[in-house]
Chains A and B, each alone.
Chain A
Amino acid sequence: MDLSIFIQLIVLGLVRGSMYALMGVGLSLIFGIMEIVNFAHGELFMIGCYIMYFMAAMLGLPFPLGILASGVGLLIVGVILEKGLISPLRKKAGREWLMDSFVLTIGLMVIFQNLALIIFGSVQRGIPYLVAGQSTFGDVVFIYDHLVILSLAFLTVGLLWYFIKYTSLGKAIRATSQHSEAAQTLGIDVSRMYAVAFGIGAALAGISGALLITLFPANPNAGMGPVLKSFVVVILGGLGNIKGAIAAGILVGLLEAFAVFYLAGGWQNVIVFSVVIAVLVFKPAGLFAPAGERP
């Protein structure tokens, strides 16, 4: 194989993969702690796209501000959704919670898409580039945008990893997802942890949408593709498994890049979903689940 093509495909795969990882980690975090399969995750991505467009294209602000605004904006949206809708419903639902959360998040998905359609119309609102230009090393072309997306995505995942692993709030979130009743007896305000976790998951989706605006222009359905892929990531990585979601996200990105190049556009979905089916059959707890863990 030609080395330059190989490197090019790795970069392309990592760019897409880092987005899938960001989306998947958020979805996984939310599921792990609250047992919600958030079907509206793609719409949080979509809101992130619009915030980025508003900040960068309409106000003409530098793009890092747009990314920051998307992250903070979606954090707030996430906390409001959790406190205003999810939490009250969870208290009423009891054992029926999983089904109720399906209906709630699918409903949110429809509402957000149609609100966006009414407010912004169906026009695609994109930004041509975050940082213009490219460099060539030998036969390999590095588009600056790709490098920016890649490094910011890795920075975000790294910060999240540090937060979850080492800060006391992060530890309390993990404790709540592993045994919420015990966490509560130790003085941890569990409902606050739910709000924080949902907010962070939403913020990750928002950052993802903002970062990828050059590839996925803002439009009411912008989140439909990414959310499907993030479900793939979460299945491959194991529901609730953060490390698994990061690894699976990158794996899916790379698989797609190589499938498109060596087979044809369209084949990437065939390959990826075949892998998903194989994983569901042979290793249903996910590729990266600790030995013996069940789904």
Chain B
Amino acid sequence: MTLEIEHVTSGYIKEVPILMDVNIVANQGSLTGIIGPNGAGKSTLLKTIYGYLRPSQGDIFHDGKSIRGLKPDQMLGQGIAHLIQGHSVFPAMTVEENLELGGWIIKHDRKTLDRALDEVYQHYPLLKSKRRMVAGALSGGEQRTLEIARLTMTHPRTILIDEPSVGLMPKLVDTVYEEIVKLKELGYTILIVDQKVHKCLDVVDYIYVLRLGQNSHHGPKEDFVNTIEDVIKEWI
């Protein structure tokens, strides 16, 4: 078990909790998906895990260690990376500078940083050929690739992904999900929050359904293949 969310209650204002007593486990090396209707608290959950919001009750463990109360900029140091919604490259900086900033927390260890850069270039030859270009000049899909590659610079254990297909051309959506599956195959633990229920169901191993800020259903992907339409109908 890599990431455990235990009895978490959280929200923007103390009197108005958005999440109530939510329990989620993301297993080592697997792809866990969180789906739910609008307003179910999916984004609030990611914000709470990554330290933008502090849970008022409950605890969050990563590798058995509590990460409750840590700030967002301390998370990568704990081995948790976060692919945020929408485009997040530094557009006026080169591809290589973007990748180097992915290694910000290991910047004093130039050797490890250079090795990580080499590895990324081996995995993503496209980025190597465009390493002197400013990131803003890349296509939408290439920028997503850069964003994903940038997260792997420090070899985190867990990657949180928020709505991977938002803001992308429909043509590129499949490519992005392929990249995410590749990350899983490399051994990363992945927690993905997604509106595109069917896309998400294609790639994940385990599903949690959130509804009105609470756990609604959960189970391995196979349990949902036939019942997903019924689950969605419940939302409407």
Interface residues of A, Cβ cutoff 8 Å to B: 168, 171-172, 174-175, 178-179, 181-190
For A187, the chain B residues whose CB sits under 8 A away are 73-77, 104-105, 154
Closest chain B residue, CB of each to CB of A168 = B107
A190 to B101, CA, bound (A): 13
CB distance from A196 to the nearest CB of B (A): 14
Query: A174-B93, A186-B76, A187-B76 are known contacts. Are A168 and B88 too (CB-CB below 8 A)?
Result: no
Counting residue pairs across A and B whose Cβ atoms lie within 8 Å, the total is: 62
B42 at the interface (CB under 8 A from A): no
For A171, the chain B residues whose CB sits under 8 A away are 93, 97, 100-101
A220 to B17, CA, bound (A): 52
CB distance from B47 to the nearest CB of A (A): 11
In the complex, are the beta carbons of A174 and B75 less than 8 A apart?
no
Closest chain B residue, CB of each to CB of A174 = B93
For B75, the chain A residues whose CB sits under 8 A away are 185, 187
- Within the complex, which residue of A174, A183, A185, A188 is in contact with B50, where a contact is CB–CB below 8 Å? A185
The secondary structure that dominates the A interface is helix
In the complex, are the beta carbons of A175 and B93 less than 8 A apart?
yes
For A178, the chain B residues whose CB sits under 8 A away are 90-93
A266 to B81, CA, bound (A): 58
A174 to B76, CA, bound (A): 20
- Within the complex, which residue of A172, A174, A179, A181 is in contact with B104, where a contact is CB–CB below 8 Å? A172
A178 to B100, CA, bound (A): 15
For B93, the chain A residues whose CB sits under 8 A away are 171, 174-175, 178
- Within the complex, which residue of B72, B74, B89, B102 is in contact with A179, where a contact is CB–CB below 8 Å? B89
**16 intermolecular pairs with C-beta atoms under 8 Å apart:** A168-B104, A168-B107, A174-B92, A175-B101, A178-B90, A178-B91, A182-B84, A182-B89, A182-B90, A183-B101, A184-B72, A186-B76, A186-B105, A187-B77, A187-B154, A190-B73
B184 at the interface (CB under 8 A from A): no
For A184, the chain B residues whose CB sits under 8 A away are 72-73
For A181, the chain B residues whose CB sits under 8 A away are 84, 88
For B97, the chain A residues whose CB sits under 8 A away are 171
CB distance from B84 to the nearest CB of A (A): 6
B221 at the interface (CB under 8 A from A): no
CB distance from B105 to the nearest CB of A (A): 4
For A172, the chain B residues whose CB sits under 8 A away are 101, 104
Closest chain A residue, CB of each to CB of B153 = A186
- Within the complex, which residue of A168, A179, A188 is in contact with B73, where a contact is CB–CB below 8 Å? A188
Interface residues of B in 178-210 (CB under 8 A from A): none
For A168, the chain B residues whose CB sits under 8 A away are 100, 104, 107
Closest chain B residue, CB of each to CB of A178 = B90
For A190, the chain B residues whose CB sits under 8 A away are 73
B150 at the interface (CB under 8 A from A): yes
B144 at the interface (CB under 8 A from A): no
For B50, the chain A residues whose CB sits under 8 A away are 185
0 or 1 for each of B115-148: is its CB under 8 Å from A? (1 = yes): 0000000000000000000000000000000010
A171 to B100, CA, bound (A): 9
For B92, the chain A residues whose CB sits under 8 A away are 174, 178
CB distance from B219 to the nearest CB of A (A): 30
B82 at the interface (CB under 8 A from A): yes
A189 to B77, CA, bound (A): 12
For B73, the chain A residues whose CB sits under 8 A away are 184-185, 187-190
Query: A185-B76, A187-B104 are known contacts. Are A174 and B90 too (CB-CB below 8 A)?
Result: yes
A168 to B74, CA, bound (A): 18
For B76, the chain A residues whose CB sits under 8 A away are 185-187
**Of listed A168, A172, A179, residue having the most chain B CB within 10 A:** A179
CB distance from B110 to the nearest CB of A (A): 10
